[in-house]
Amino acid sequence: MASTKTITRKSLGRGAFIGSLYNAANDKFCGTTIFKSKYPDDSINKINIPHTEILYEYENTYKEKFNKLDVGAELKLSVLTGLIPLEGSGKYLNDVKNSLKSVKGTLIYKITTVDENLDIHRDDVRACISTDVFTNNQNATYVVIGIKWGAAIMASFEYNGTNKENRSHIEGALKCHLEKIKISGDGHVDA
């Protein structure tokens, strides 16, 4: 029996579009779509959700990085085992300090603009769906029917060659400067 469970995944720089086939077992898009013809433009429900968020990270741990990017448990394992290639903002997850003697901080700017969802219950949308696509993509477990559009931009700052005495001073100064940037940059986006 087919499942109607909905899952949500961060793209982490991977490209997808409405109708993309997805394999949840290996966290990969299958490279094809479920549609045999273009669905009606008015079958996409668009909701403007303008939001910006400025964060900073200086722990340089996977736990903190996953939390800052809102990566779910299912995708964490795929990232840690190298199952999926990290592209775009996802590369931040593998960005590590150059040395144990260095101090590193990252400013994270996250923006969301629009939430798009396909109304799959419409007859004119169902007429565009190809069931033959599953013959060639037997590993597909889900179909993308919604996308929350946005971006995450990271700027990392690293100071190398610190000794133990001035390390805490440099960490404190970096935290202070990142917090100042965060406070002066807080706001919202008009989409």
Domain ranges of the chain: 20-185
Nearest one of 9, 31, 45 to 140, comparing CA atoms: 31
Confidence of residue 2 (pLDDT cuts 50, 70, 90): low
- Across 112-120, average pLDDT: 96
**At a CB cut-off of 8 Å and minimum separation 6, what does 152 contact?**
69, 89, 92, 108, 109, 110, 111
SS3 content of the chain, % helix, strand, coil (to 5): 30, 30, 40
Burial class of residue 123 (count of CB atoms within 10 Å of its CB; 0-12, 13-18, 19+): exposed
* pLDDT attached to residue 1: 38
Confidence of residue 59 (pLDDT cuts 50, 70, 90): confident
Burial class of residue 129 (count of CB atoms within 10 Å of its CB; 0-12, 13-18, 19+): middle
* pLDDT attached to residue 3: 58
Query: How large a percentage of the chain has pLDDT more than 70?
Result: 91
Question: Is residue 95 predicted with pLDDT exceeding 60?
Answer: yes
Average pLDDT along the chain:
86
* pLDDT attached to residue 5: 84
